[in-house]
Amino acid sequence: MEMGSKGGGDYGAFMEKFELVPPQSQEQLPLSGLTFAVKDIFDISGRVTGFGNPDWARTHAPAAATSPVVLATLAAGATSIGTTVMDEMAYSINGENAHYGTPTNPCAPDRVPGGSSSGSAVAVAANLVDFALGTDTGGSVRVPAAYCGIFGLRPSHGLVSKENVIPMAQMFDTVGWLARDLSTLSRVSNVLLPLPADNTIKQPTQFTVPTDCFQILGSPNDQTYEILNASIAKKFGSHAVDNRNLGDFISNNVPTIGKFIGDFSKSEAPSVPALSVISYVMRCLQRSEFKANHAEWVNTVKPNLGPGIRERVHEAIASGDGPIGDFHAVRTEFKSALAALVKDDGILAIPTVPGSPPKLHMEAAALENFRARAFSLLSIAGLSGVCQLSIPLGVRDGVPVSVSLMARHGADHFLLNVAHELYETLKEEAKKAWGSSDSSP
- Cα–Cα distance measured from residue 125 to residue 285, given in angstroms and rounded to the nearest whole number: 32
**Residue 140 annotated as catalytic:** yes
Secondary element (H or E) of residue 239: none
For the four alpha carbons of 326, 327, 330 and 333, in that order, the dihedral sign comes to negative
Is residue 28 exposed (0-12), middle (13-18) or buried (19+ Cβ within 10 Å)? exposed
Active-site annotation holder among 67, 120, 140, 156: 140
Q: Residue 176 phi/psi, 5° resolution?
A: -135, 180
Rg (alpha carbons) of the chain, rounded to whole number:
20
Q: CA nearest 433: which of 225, 256, 247, 127?
A: 225
**Strand partners of residue 20:** 80
- Cα–Cα distance measured from residue 144 to residue 147, given in angstroms and rounded to the nearest whole number: 5
**Three-class SS of residue 81?**
strand
Secondary structure string (H, E, C) spanning 173-186: CEEEEEECCHHHHH
Q: What does the chain come to in residues? A: 441
83 to 89, 172, 309: CA distances (angstroms): 15, 23, 21
- Cα–Cα distance measured from residue 345 to residue 119, given in angstroms and rounded to the nearest whole number: 34
- Cα–Cα distance measured from residue 400 to residue 391, given in angstroms and rounded to the nearest whole number: 10
**Three-class SS of residue 39?**
strand
Between β-strands 35-39 and 79-84, what pairing exists: parallel, antiparallel or unpaired?
parallel
Active-site annotation holder among 6, 39, 162, 291: 39
Active-site annotation holder among 80, 92, 116, 390: 116
- Cα–Cα distance measured from residue 205 to residue 115, given in angstroms and rounded to the nearest whole number: 34
Question: 119 and 139 in contact (C-beta within 8 Å)?
Answer: no
Q: Which ranges of 244-399 does DSSP label H, i.e. alpha helix?
A: 246-253, 258-265, 273-301, 309-318, 324-342, 364-384
Q: Which residues are catalytic?
A: 39, 116, 140
